[in-house]
Chain A
Amino acid sequence: MKNHLLSANDLSREEAITILTTARELRRVSDGGQKKLPTLRGRAVVNLFFEDSTRTRISFESAAKRLSADVINFSAKGSSVSKGESLKDTAQTLQAMGADAVVIRHGASGAAQRLADSGWISASVINAGDGTHEHPTQALLDAFTIGEKFGLDTYDFTGLKVGIVGDILHSRVARSNVLLLKKLGAEVTVIAPPTLLPVGVELWGVQVSYDFDAALKELDVVMMLRIQSERMHDLFFPSAREYSRAYGLDVARLSTLKSKAIVMHPGPMNRGLEISAESADSLQSVVLAQVTNGVLVRMSVLYHLLAGAVNA
């Protein structure tokens, strides 16, 4: 495995399955009562967050702490970053403090890769969301959850139909999920109005649909994306209500789902916009399982990136 996790494409199919299998093992250990492992004792993990994201940050923090790593939270707000310090200087400061891994969330696409490739630091870099590019640990936790709910212990998703619905254009979750789900054999359909699909999506190797109702009936997994209602100001859709009518998962649509289909959402949800309260709280919703699994998958990623280096 590489030193960094920047894109879902950094992982081969086998490596992805290894991470998911380790996460399952970590769950077994945890369920057996051992909540905290000594694996990363003495290692420093920095959460470098240039964007607010409490849920992702605490998920990584929790994962690192359960492996006994020291965690430093570095948030851009109130730090030197807000005074105009460059990414390079911030990174080198963390390097000087002895970070072993940097978990970075940044508003600019490619920021994680710049951190990893530019020679500024030697720590492992984990991309916790870069602009509208990728969010690979989200894709891993989603795959883990799908494996769990469908009992696919080998993570062979051949024949599984997954629909990703909403703002594909701006979604890092969608990009990472498309890459990983395809690697694991799933058939992926992206469902959105044409304004929220990137030019070039026709070459992604996925089905593209503008018609949620037509696509919905076939799906085993419905992955809803958060939509920012402000997007209507940039003319992506006429109004939040019109978007919701055409692409929201409401009760009527929920009732047309296959009985064993699951509903996913990376959070935070806009209830009443892309997903109704009934759908979010339905038995088919696995939103809370995604949160739980996020910690396990991030533990596994930290373990594979850092523990390997210890032994080497």
Chain B
Amino acid sequence: MKYLIIGGELADGTRSDLLLADGLIAAMGVDLDKSEATLIDANGCKILPGLVDLHTHLREPGREDSETVLSGSTAAVVGGYTAISAMANTNPVADTAGVVEQIFRLGVAAGLCDVFPIGAVTQGLNGENLAEIGAMANSAARVRIFSDDGKCVFDPLVMRRALEYVKIFGGVVAQHAQEPRLTVDAQMNEGLISSQLGLKGWPAIAEEAIIARDILLAEHVGSRLHICHLTTAGGVDLVRWAKSRGVNVTAEVTPHHLLLTDEEVVGYDPIFKVNPPLRTQSDIDALRAGLADGTIDIVATDHAPHPAEDKDCEWQAAAFGMLGLETALSIVVKTMIETKLMTWPQLVERMSIRPAEIAGYSEQGQEIAIGSVANLIVVNPSTTRTVDRNKMASKSRNTPYHGMVLPAVVTHTFYKGKLVLSPEGVQH
């Protein structure tokens, strides 16, 4: 199937039509050969490399009632993602070659985008014994990112060994930075709001203490560290300091931590319950500045589907997490482009090129050029849409943006030259 995308512009504003054939970008320019090609009207739209997410909870195996690899892939392409990374905290945990290969194959079968499994650092996320990291790396899934996300690799010796061990194959350990003793039963950011609401606080220091420790460990053993979902101003400072020392550390921020503050918790609606928690406006300002100046390398969704009953209850009983895939681009446009903190090329860098580099997804995040793999999206930046939780592609409904009018709509997604999303919907 050939496609000719007409009338659009690239991230930097360059006008160019694109001819897609055999899964690749076959030609660029104007007045391209239209024969046998399906025309895609991209007038007024931007053509960008497909987005790449390094932090996605797909819930399969184990909680297929809230998300499957297929439904998560569907949500991904709706949001403009052509690659997602399945976090390891499934049931069973993705801590063996068998489980990561199963998830990888489910992704291939879904066929909508690349689904790369992330392997657990420790067996069963127990924080004590290393999982078979080498077997996962050498499996068909070729795992390169390892994370106990949802839990912190708290034991400093375990973290040290994991950082050392992944050097064998150039892997990276993605840390969920949460000092467990400082966050027992923690419910929300510790500060004025938590003191008024009587909810147990999750202090910024609990995140920053682990980030600081792991930066020093990564420096000491000369390995690669990735910090998941940075949420605090202090954390941004630590990563900036580490980079200035030449430590091989990268960091991500989620869309929700760029937009929402702990003020949302007033009212106790668990839709805003997420781990790490929503912080304060000054944290948001620091995160936005850090993302703009490159201290924070990438945006990652931490897409965390939950069934209705896990949110339709009292705050303390509710599950942590919110949907992200289908709204991430819009939130980044709202918080970073509309505020003029970032340009579109920078957005592409943070949401496609750099995440693909960190993870080593060689066919993702490529420059839009002749010969590149046609993982592309068409985005209309000047239209808006109203988020409706009842119309999500995800199996779950736990979006915190219900009713919000958001900028930028993904009109088309191409995965390896195949049209997987068009205005008619997802093409299975």
Contact = CB atoms under 8 A, between A and B. Distances in A.
Interface of A: 86-88, 106-111, 113-114, 117-118, 130-134, 172, 175, 198-201, 203-204
Interface in B182-202: 187, 190-201
Contact of A175 (B187, B198, B268): B198
21 contacts: A86-B312, A87-B313, A88-B313, A108-B315, A109-B187, A109-B268, A110-B198, A110-B199, A110-B268, A110-B314, A111-B314, A132-B198, A132-B200, A133-B197, A175-B196, A198-B201, A199-B201, A199-B203, A200-B195, A200-B196, A203-B192
Interface of B: 187, 190-201, 203, 267-269, 309, 312-317
Contacts of A108: 314-317
B87 to A, nearest CB: 27
A88 B312 contact: yes
B397 to A, nearest CB: 15
B324 to A, nearest CB: 24
A197 to B, nearest CB: 9
Nearest to B199: A109
Nearest to A109: B198
A261 to B, nearest CB: 28
Nearest to A117: B267
Given A118-B312, A131-B316, A172-B198, A200 B192 contact: yes
A234 B191 CA distance: 20
A87 B309 CA distance: 11
Contact of A204 (B194, B195, B201): B195
Nearest to A86: B313
Contacts of B313: 86-88, 114
Nearest to B191: A200
Contacts of A111: 314
Given A110-B198, A172-B198, 19 more contacts: A87-B314, A108-B315, A109-B198, A109-B199, A110-B197, A110-B199, A110-B314, A110-B315, A110-B316, A117-B267, A117-B269, A131-B199, A133-B199, A175-B196, A198-B201, A199-B194, A201-B195, A204-B195, A204-B196
A113 B198 contact: no
B195 A114 contact: no
Contacts of B201: 198-199
Contacts of A198: 194-195, 201
B57 to A, nearest CB: 23
Contacts of A88: 312-313
Contacts of B197: 109-110, 133
A112 to B, nearest CB: 9
Most buried by A among B198, B312, B315, B316: B198
A117 B314 CA distance: 11
Contact of B268 (A86, A114, A203, A204): A114
